Structure 1
């Protein structure tokens, strides 16, 4: 599996705005996944998704795992700016990477799940996350796969306050602008969400409320509840929850992107 490390997706801050590319040598299925790591927007690393990305490469996907500016360096909306630029990079380079730019999913865990979801919910020409190098107005993925995502900012959690850099009481519009559940519209792409039922950081009830609102708006949203699973289980392919997750996401993307079973290399 060829891997290209630390590929700059932006000319400004080129050493920070980087991603790793994981490329299938054969059996490409014409689809791609952009992975975004979690860590409360304050820690974490793009290499956390290495094993998951490698597994999807074996099944024909072009995969990328991105680095973004953490809240300790630059708070909201810096990470969203970076996510939009990374998606733009993937779409611009789709032909040379070997996938259809209309078949790319965003995927993320926890705070990275938030960024993956927000990518899907920021409308074309929306100023949120725009920077000088963002020339592609529509940076929405075609499908979304999330692990234990942050779906609302309207909760009292320290990591959210550090990300937003101001309390909600002082900036309610900023919180509405940045909260995924407040951005749902009828043209949202399909979502699948892998969620532990013992998660105290992003509780199952919050995730289900988000999914229900997506469905009410006319989108497809599937929540896979994992019994006995806590927060932050996503980085791997060995546990029962991890295996169920990658298999569920694979089936979801095969269906949404109309991928041929014959093009998939299975273990």
Structure 2
């Protein structure tokens, strides 16, 4: 059969909703887990056959997604805290029998899901059974097409700020060899693995996990209790019985749903702990009982544009939040804010309160996400941020940005990144392919971030090693290339350092200051006494941090 022109079918449903609203705090919604797939995942009890009674027409046929919601209790969700950024979960099951990746897309089912994905929602995708159905051309999609559609679902999930999770297909109840349930999916089992690896997406090997579990139970039990092998005169819907080694009875669906849930727990445990304002408060309050977490403000003095795509990488669509003063001027100085999180965690939402305050004080603030080490190693994040600067200049009229007054601010790991971006203008190592606009900034604000990975004061960490492609002795080249101290020159911009009392977060700072002074480049240093790392996310340190930043900006302009 000839290869179908699948790429012509991949019409990108990328709708950019730019909402303009005042700077207001928002209430967190439940996290939705969107299930997309075929009949083995579907919910037959949810008006699957309109107007027909499930018990009379389908039972005991059960998709594993049909029983998935019951596994999400308050206690069990807590075990998924690194993966699920919320206290409650809603399962939205859009799986449907007979659908391959291609027909799921063509029939508009994917568009229905895409349109309602919220940031931090999960999209769990499990196909393969119908994709491989060569004898049914209305469903069939060759392996390359299968991979293209999976890649599309991953890409567009990320465009909406969701988290894609790819599953290998559940097994059929054959072949059994020497008491072991073997694989029947072949290339359609390998393809999801390849897509997940290529795109840096989460993978659950449901095929292997399920076959292992079923093998332990044995062929006879699995055949009679898990799959739809039914004796006559037992169920209303199947008076003649049934001989089906693809679909599940209730018990089989429950076992598979539990396997998926357990895999989500394992996935969550292997992810970095969330780095948010709330988690930071919980961590610090024991030693600093007087602190309070910062929160978004209620103010009519700035306009907010949320989740705007500023860069498309192979792994994801990177998003920005833009905060514009509502004072009627034509142009403002601007600040690009870079969140921290050890190059492996964190998000632009951590910088929301600070960004709002900059806008209240007459500066356009742009807070961005960038490639974390779980998505792409150094220098991807640096290239992302330079692309963000160019994007700000390209949209300067739209966002009222003065292209000659852009400062980059970072906190913790974000401070290292911001400083590196600031002192490496036009460096070919970090070129993003855009020659039209400059990546130069007019100032750097470093909030408690190191300036060198190789300085004697610098401590080696596995977290940094994950981003830099190995520990220091394994990849010294990258550790040096990622050190801002190595790039200081007479063209470096003015720099403000706002530091905690934790010395290890200042590695290389004093030597950088000495070099800046030798070039007569303006710099400031302020240390907040008896303050922890991440002080900028907490009161009482947020206010002086903001004041130091505003004073620095006033000095520049």
Note if 1:249 corresponds to 2:510.
Answer: no
1:234 to 1:222, Cα distance in 2 relative to 1, 3 A: same
Note if 1:84 corresponds to 2:383.
Answer: no
Count of residues paired in the alignment: 251
Of 491, 510, 513, the residue aligned with 1:187 is: 491
Of 469, 476, 481, the residue aligned with 1:165 is: 469
Deviation of 1:165 (Å): 1.3
SS in 2 for 1:68: coil
1:50-107 per-residue CA deviation (whole Å, 9 max, x = no partner) reads 1111111111111110000100111111101111111110111112211211101000
Contact 2:461 2:471 in 1 (8 A): no
TM-score normalised according to structure 1 size: 0.87
Deviation of 1:171 (Å): 3.2
Q: CA RMSD in A?
A: 1.9
Tell me the distance in 1 between the aligned counterparts of 2:492 and 2:520. Answer: 8
Deviation of 1:117 (Å): 0.6
Q: Which runs of 5+ in 2 are unaligned?
A: 1-301
Aligned residue in 2 for 1:24:
325
1:243 to 1:27, Cα distance in 2 relative to 1, 3 A: farther
1:206 to 1:27, Cα distance in 2 relative to 1, 3 A: farther
Q: Which runs of 5+ in 1 are unaligned?
A: 258-267
SS in 1 for 2:527: strand
Contact 1:16 1:68 in 2 (8 A): no
TM-score normalised according to structure 2 size: 0.43
Larger Rg computed on CA atoms: 2
Of 98, 101, 110, the residue aligned with 2:412 is: 110
1:167 to 1:158, Cα distance in 2 relative to 1, 3 A: closer
Contact 2:485 2:508 in 1 (8 A): no
Contact 2:343 2:413 in 1 (8 A): yes
Deviation of 1:184 (Å): 0.6
SS in 1 for 2:352: helix
Deviation of 1:120 (Å): 0.8
Deviation of 1:226 (Å): 1.1
Deviation of 1:186 (Å): 0.9
Note if 1:140 corresponds to 2:440.
Answer: yes
Tell me the distance in 2 between the aligned counterparts of 1:174 and 1:65. Answer: 26
Aligned residue in 2 for 1:262:
none
Aligned residue in 1 for 2:397:
95
Task: Tell me which moved more, 43-52 or 176-185.
Answer: 176-185
Contact 1:184 1:217 in 2 (8 A): no
